[in-house]
Amino acid sequence: MQNGLLLIDALNLIRRLHAALEHEQDEQRRIERTQSLCVDALAKLVAQFTPAYMAIVFDSPSKTWRHEVFPEYKLGRPPMDDLLLESMPKFAEVFRFNSWPCLRLTGWEADDLVATLAYKASLHAIPSMIVSTDKGYTQLLQYPNILQYDYFAKQGYDPQWVVQKYGVKPKLLPDYWALVGDTTNHIPGVKGVGPKSSVTILEGKSGLENVFDSLSEYPAKFQKLLEGQLAHCQFARSLVTLKCDVDIGIRLSQLTLPSH
Q: What is the pLDDT of residue 135?
A: 94
Range(s) within the chain of domains with CATH label 3.40.50.1010: 5-163
Range(s) within the chain of domains with CATH label 1.10.150.20: 170-240
Could you give the count of Cα atoms lying within 13 Å of 226 in the half-sphere of its Cβ?
28
Q: What is the pLDDT of residue 78?
A: 81
Residue 8 has pLDDT above 90, yes or no: yes
Instruction: Return d(Cα 6, Cα 131) in angstroms, integer.
Output: 8
Q: Phi/psi class of residue 58: alpha, beta or left (left: φ > 0; alpha: ψ in -120 to 50)?
A: beta
Q: What is the pLDDT of residue 252?
A: 92
Domain covering 5-163 in this structure, CATH number = 3.40.50.1010
Q: What is the pLDDT of residue 76?
A: 77
Across 9-23, 57-71, 112-126, 164-178, least confident range:
57-71
Q: What is the pLDDT of residue 260?
A: 57
Task: Average the pLDDT over 151-172 and give the result.
Answer: 97
Residue 118 has pLDDT above 60, yes or no: yes
Task: Average the pLDDT over 15-23 and give the result.
Answer: 95
Q: With bands split at pLDDT 50, 70 and 90, how would you rate the model's confidence at 221?
A: very high
Q: With bands split at pLDDT 50, 70 and 90, how would you rate the model's confidence at 201?
A: very high
For residue 156, what are the β-bridge partners?
A: 149
Please name the fold of domain 170-240. DNA polymerase; domain 1 (1.10.150)
Residue 259 has pLDDT above 90, yes or no: no
Residue 150: exposed, middle, or buried by beta-carbon count in 10 A (0-12, 13-18, 19+)? middle
Q: What is the pLDDT of residue 35?
A: 97
Task: Average the pLDDT over 16-44 and give the result.
Answer: 96
Residue 98 has pLDDT above 70, yes or no: yes
Instruction: Return d(Cα 54, Cα 100) in angstroms, integer.
Output: 7
Higher-confidence residue of 146 and 74: namely 146
Q: Tell me the percentage of the chain whose pLDDT exceeds 70.
A: 100
Measuring CA to CA, which residue among 229, 203, 237 is closest to residue 217?
203
Q: For residues 190 and 179, is the Cβ–Cβ distance under 8 A? A: yes
